[in-house]
Amino acid sequence: MPTVRGCARNSNIGPKVNSLFWAGSVVGAGDSISRAMWGGQMNPGVDPTVPSPGYGAQVAAIHGYSPVWFQSDVAGERSDQALTRMPSILSDNPLPEIITLAWGTNDCVVFGTGGVSNFIDNMIDMVDLVLAAGKIPAIPTVPYSTTQGSNMTAYRDAIVNSLWTIPGVVHGADLYDYFEDHTDQLQVDGIHPTVAGFVAAIGVWVAALADFYD
């Protein structure tokens, strides 16, 4: 059984998901930042740009084929709202192998550091649901923000020290470290990436999940 970032692939995954077609397939679940990384518009109604090359094209450029991937993201969504939505995400996507859990930015903006504990509890509950469904949870760090400062750092640290230590959780894209080093790829709000930032962040996701495609 292959390993991914030290975590064995879930042996409960059904035969259809373990087929060549569905291996490495992804449901990109998260907030508005996640949406534009998985084929969505950067800001529907305001900026319809879809960052390109996208995930499938970037995987194909490196590994020679494009995996199956889907988008399941809600702008402005917090982890408590995502937890309510997670059963439908799973029921709507019975075959994909990997579910990204890309939340935290809106928890930080709304609740500050006072929301970290509830955020972690919500994320752990979602990890349990994903694992129980026979799928693989992939959790990125929250992206670095030039306007949220130490508040966002607290969420990043909680993800790394708590969520990334859970057996079965795959380390997703480290978007905090990337955007800390590339603040020029953030929009003026200091939170959302530019087009170039999104394309680069998709590449960080491709690198994080590379073991699924080798």
Across 20-34, 45-59, 136-150, the highest mean pLDDT is recorded for 136-150
Cis amide prior to 87 (ω within 30 degrees): no
Position 82 pLDDT exceeds 70? yes
74 and 5 Cβ atoms separated by less than 8 Å: no
Report whether pLDDT(122) > 60: yes
Q: Domain range for residue 79?
A: 3-212
Show Cβ contacts of residue 180 under 8 Å, excluding neighbours closer than 6 positions: 144
Question: Per residue in 1-25, pLDDT tens?
Answer: 222 322 333 333 333 344 556 788 9
Write out the DSSP string of 40-104.
--SBTTTB----SS-HHHHHHHHHSSPPPEEEEE-TT--HHHHHHHHHHHHHH-SS-SEEE-B--
The average pLDDT across 115-135 equals: 97
CATH number of 91's domain:
3.40.50.1110
Q: Is 190 left (phi over 0), alpha (psi -120 to 50) or beta?
A: left
SS3 193: strand
Structure confidence at residue 74 as a pLDDT band (50, 70, 90)? very high
Question: What pLDDT sits at residue 184?
Answer: 97
Query: Among residues of the chain, what percentage have pLDDT more than 70?
Result: 90
Q: Can you read off the two tokens belonging to residue 128?
A: 């349990």
Tokens standing for residue 212: 């699924």
- Indicate the number of domains in the chain: 1
User: Model confidence at 34, in pLDDT bands (50, 70, 90)?
Assistant: very high
Q: What is the pTM of this model?
A: 0.89
Tokens 């702008």 identify what position? 75
Any bridge partners for residue 200, and if so which? none
